[in-house]
């Protein structure tokens, strides 16, 4: 066959293959109506992800990192008030804040009832179920009230004034009237990891089952053999088959290389921590992390940590009228600077050396 180079052609990938694109999104802000309400319709879904997937660990660690060193108050009176907060009877102020911060992160919004006495003094805080909470906003974009949908049929909703709810909001953007759930941003990773784990579990389990080859054409006898073989596997018994060795043989299934699966699962694990904004090393997992790498991860985490602490302190002041200072975790900034200075002294390298040759 003779090739005719004048008959060349090209593909039409631009017209037939769709480029990847990210779905557009609109903020859930106020409408033209007198009132706009937001209901946490996805709370049960995000709560399920939090309880049953690996994203729980980084979220828990983040909240523990923020609150783990305790708190202090400039006012001894305020400190006494917070020390007497008991929630449902077995809570403390710190455990309630930990609860609220966890829910804020995975759901986007957390709600805690503020209970005061007749004199307006704070006497308790009670965590609420976000799945039955509504945020009601007026045309001016300000919160008018909160409503708690009754879990009992034919019972009216309970209404709260804005000052009766401690409302923590995660990463609110633009004019949205709710926060951003970490689980929403990480949903693809959550499902991909669960899928990978289930795939490997299924492959591992099936590799323990041996394939049986038999020279048998009779459908009834073959069906009975399949039934006996399944029962033998389930009961852990040896299957005895009358027949010639050349007509019957077993073959073991082999597992695929495990490292490829583990590498994919490890990558997805790391994505959880990136979504939450906390280094994996802070949970105690330091596999394949050098000392210098761990220090830099810690140092890079500090701005996120400081922002979370600052936001929580401001929320408590704005909504509870109590000044709280959460004791900070140790910073590595000075340590890293000292190390850098020592390295420069040992190697003779100075920052100005980077300009060597410039202008010559």
Predicted local distance difference test score (pLDDT) of residue 349:
45
Extract the tokens encoding 147.
Answer: 């409503």
Sign of CA pseudo-dihedral 187, 188, 192, 195: positive
Predicted local distance difference test score (pLDDT) of residue 130:
97
Q: What is the pLDDT of residues 108-146, one digit of tens each?
A: 999 999 999 999 999 999 999 999 999 999 999 999 999
Q: What is the pLDDT of residues 284-306, one digit of tens each?
A: 665 666 666 667 777 777 888 89
329 vs 332: CA distance, rounded Å: 10
Extract the tokens encoding 142.
Answer: 């300000």
CB 157 within 8 A of CB 164: no
CB 94 within 8 A of CB 324: no
Report field, pTM of the whole predicted structure over 0.85: no
CB 144 within 8 A of CB 137: yes
CB 319 within 8 A of CB 167: yes
Matching residue, tokens 């050098």? 290
Q: What is the pLDDT of residues 193-220, one digit of tens each?
A: 888 888 888 777 666 666 666 666 778 8
Q: Where are the alpha helices (DSSP H) in the chain?
A: 13-16, 43-52, 56-67, 76-83, 93-107, 182-185, 187-206, 219-235, 258-276, 291-320, 333-347
Burial track 218-255 (b if 16+ CB lie within 10 A, e otherwise): eeeeeeebeeebeeeeeeeeeeeeeeeeeeeeeeeeee
Extract the tokens encoding 151.
Answer: 């879990």
Predicted local distance difference test score (pLDDT) of residue 8:
67
354 confidence band (pLDDT: 50, 70, 90): very low
CB 137 within 8 A of CB 131: no
User: What's the mean per-residue pLDDT of the chain?
Assistant: 81
């Amino acid at each position: 066959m003779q090739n005719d180079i004048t008959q060349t052609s090209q593909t039409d990938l631009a017209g037939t293959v769709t480029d990847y694109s990210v779905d557009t999104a609109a903020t859930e802000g106020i409408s033209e109506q007198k009132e706009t309400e937001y209901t946490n319709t996805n709370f049960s879904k995000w709560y399920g992800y939090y309880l049953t997937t690996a994203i729980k660990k980084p979220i828990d660690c983040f909240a523990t990192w923020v609150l783990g060193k305790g708190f202090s108050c400039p006012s001894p009176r305020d400190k006494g008030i917070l020390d007497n907060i008991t929630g449902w009877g077995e809570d403390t102020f710190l455990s309630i804040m930990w609860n609220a911060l966890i829910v804020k992160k995975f759901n986007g919004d957390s709600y805690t009832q503020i209970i005061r006495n007749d004199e307006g003094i704070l006497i308790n805080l009670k965590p609420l179920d976000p799945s039955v909470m509504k945020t009601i906003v007026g045309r001016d974009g300000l919160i008018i009230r909160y409503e708690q949908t009754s879990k009992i049929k034919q019972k009216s909703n309970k209404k709260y004034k804005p000052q009766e709810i401690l409302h923590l909001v995660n990463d609110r953007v633009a004019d949205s009237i709710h926060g951003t759930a970490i689980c929403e941003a990480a949903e693809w990773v959550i499902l991909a990891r669960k899928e990978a784990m289930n795939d490997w579990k299924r492959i591992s389990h099936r590799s323990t089952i041996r394939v049986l080859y038999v020279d048998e054409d009779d459908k009834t006898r073959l069906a009975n053999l399949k039934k006996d073989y399944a029962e033998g596997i389930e009961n852990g018994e040896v299957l005895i088959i009358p027949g010639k060795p050349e007509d019957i043989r077993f073959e073991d299934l082999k597992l695929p290389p495990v490292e490829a699966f583990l590498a994919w699962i490890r990558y997805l694990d790391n994505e959880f921590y990136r979504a939450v904004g906390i280094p994996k090393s802070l949970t105690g997992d330091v596999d394949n992390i050098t000392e210098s790498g761990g220090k830099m991860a810690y140092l890079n985490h500090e701005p996120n940590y400081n922002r979370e602490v600052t936001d929580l302190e401001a929320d408590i002041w704005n909504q509870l009228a109590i000044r709280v200072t959460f004791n900070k975790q140790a910073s590595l900034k000075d340590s890293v600077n000292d190390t850098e200075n020592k390295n420069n002294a040992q190697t003779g390298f100075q920052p100005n050396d980077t300009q060597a040759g410039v202008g010559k």
